[in-house]
Amino acid sequence: MADFVLELDRVTKRFGDVTAADDLSLQVAQGEFCALLGPSGSGKTTLLRIIAGLELPDSGRVLINGQDVTRLPPYARKVGMVFQNFLLFPHKTVAENVVFPLRMQGAPRERQKERLAWALKLLRLEGLEDRYPNQLSGGQQQRVALARGLIARPALLLLDEPLANLDRELRKEMEVEVRRYQVELTTPFIYVTHNQEEALTMSDRIAVMAKGRFEQVAPKLEVYTHPTSPFVAGFVGHSNKMSGRLTALDGSRARLDWQGVEIAVPSPARAGVGDRVDYFVKCEHMVLRSPNDPPEPELANRVPGVLRDVIFKGPNADYLARLDNGVELTVTDAVTMPSIRRDDPVHVAWAPEAGQCFAAAG
């Protein structure tokens, strides 16, 4: 049991008619960086508050290092937390903010000093000890919040969208830093975010949440490349979604009638000929070809269209192709790639197995 730092055992929480956490189970091991990824209202913050003890679950258990803490108040759990908007104490200096958890635990003065020096050094806050939070930049406030979360060597650190209020540049920088601290300290981090880039950059494992449920809990690469539910396929990464009815099933392959275009798809579970399915292919798993290019056997799907626009994105570009059936597909590829111009006829090609096919809901 104690192999995991955090264990959630069938945790459920309802607010009136809304189920914010629906029978959630999760295990997090020492050294792990686990992201809770989901749109707003998916219940990820509620789950984090349940772990912290700020919210009492209706049923289920929360275990920290094997100890059942479900009914323990937050101040007895010894977890660290980094809040959205930082929530630094505005009337306390940086040093007073950072050392607060140790003071509350009644640590000896010597140890407080020692740990404070350690935390300030780790987070590069030396020289700012006597400033007040309102005298700090966003990035500095963020680091103070992290220092306060880490100073007391918590069993685990909970982070609630800590980078949401930083500008893009700073966020990129902090993503790398946060990951570095986590690797250095081996403290497990539970990181709540609605930003898939953050989750993909920093975490080892991602739990994708929607409507109070885990849609998929898996290593991040697997979540990205092998989504197991239509929600995950649509939410993580940028995908083209193709909906239609199956016209044929032949072992691992099936054929899909997608608005008049016949394409090959991997056979979905729980769907037969005539059933409605959704087929997701990541934009970067599709390529553009000139109509004169020879066919490539591994790119079994090849549909004709016209290049409508190119959206330059730095190293990559999104190519918007309008197919003959009037639908648009987005293809992400290197900028230098084709010598094709706008309004040129193109072929969009991809391997059927590059995407995932699911029986349509309802």
Partner 1 sequence: MKAGELLARLIGGTLLLSLYLFLYAPIAYVIYVSFQKDLNWPFPPSWTLAHYAALGADQTYREGLWNSILLGLGSAVICTAVATMGSIAVLKYRSRWRALMVVIFLCPLFVADLLVGISNLLFNRQVLNLPGNMGSAMIGNAVHCTSFAFLIMLAQLSRYDWRLDDAAMVFGARPLRCFLEVTLPLIWPAMLGAFLVSFILAFNNLEISFYNLGAIPTLPTIAWGSLRFGLGGELFALAALVNGVVLGAFAVMYLLMRYRVVSFGHRE
Residues that bind partner 1 (CB under 8 A): 52-54, 73-75, 77-81, 83, 85, 87, 89-91, 100-101, 104-105, 132-134, 148, 152
Q: Are the beta carbons of 246 and 256 closer than 8 angstroms?
A: yes
Give 32's contacts (C-beta < 8 A, 6+ positions apart).
5, 188, 189, 204, 205
Which of 15, 97, 12 is closest to 50 using CA atoms? 12
The smaller minimum CB distance to partner 1, of residues 158 and 271, is found at: 158
C-alpha to C-alpha distance for 21 and 209, rounded to whole angstroms: 9
Based on CB atoms, which residue is closest to partner 1, 91 or 341?
91
**Closer residue to partner 1 (CB): 149 or 355:** 149
Residue with Cβ nearer partner 1 (91 or 270): 91
Three-class DSSP category at 36? strand
CB of 148 to partner 1, least distance (A): 7
- The H-or-E segment that residue 140 falls in is helix 138-150
For partner 1, the closer of residues 54 and 264 by Cβ is 54
DSSP state of 333: E
Q: Which residue has the tokens 């020879």?
A: 294
Radius of gyration of the chain measured on its C-alpha atoms: 25
State the nearest-atom distance from the C-beta of 162 to partner 1, in Å: 13
Q: How far is the CB of 38 from partner 1 (least distance, A)?
A: 21
Residue 79 beta carbon to partner 1: minimum distance, rounded to whole angstroms: 7
Total number of residues shown for the chain: 362
Tokens for 164?
């949401």
> Least distance from C-beta 83 to partner 1, angstroms?
6
CB of 99 to partner 1, least distance (A): 10
| The Cα angle at residue 300 between residues 340 and 237, in degrees rounded to 5 | 70
- CB nearer to partner 1: pick between 35 and 48: 48
Q: How far is the CB of 66 from partner 1 (least distance, A)?
A: 21
**Nearest-angstrom CA–CA distance, 284 and 276:** 25
Whether residue 275 contacts residue 245, with contact meaning beta carbons closer than 8 Å, is answered with yes
- Euclidean distance between CA atoms 362 and 346, whole angstroms: 35
**Residue 100: CB minimum distance to partner 1, A:** 5
Residue among 134 and 292 whose Cβ is closer to partner 1: 134
Least distance to partner 1 from the beta carbon of 146, Å?
A: 13
Measured from the CB of residue 163, what is the shortest distance to partner 1 in angstroms? 17
Cα dihedral 271, 273, 278, 280, rounded to 10, equals: 100
Our CB check for partner 1 shows the closer of 104 and 248 to be: 104
Answer whether 9's CB lies under 8 Å from 29's CB: no
Nearer to partner 1, 129 or 333 (CB): 129
Closest CB to partner 1 among residues 73, 274: 73
Q: For 292, phi and psi rounded to 5 degrees?
A: -85, -15
Question: What DSSP string runs through 183-219?
Answer: HHH---EEEEES-HHHHHHH-SEEEEEETTEEEEEEE
Side-chain-side CA neighbours of 88 within 13 Å: the count stands at 29
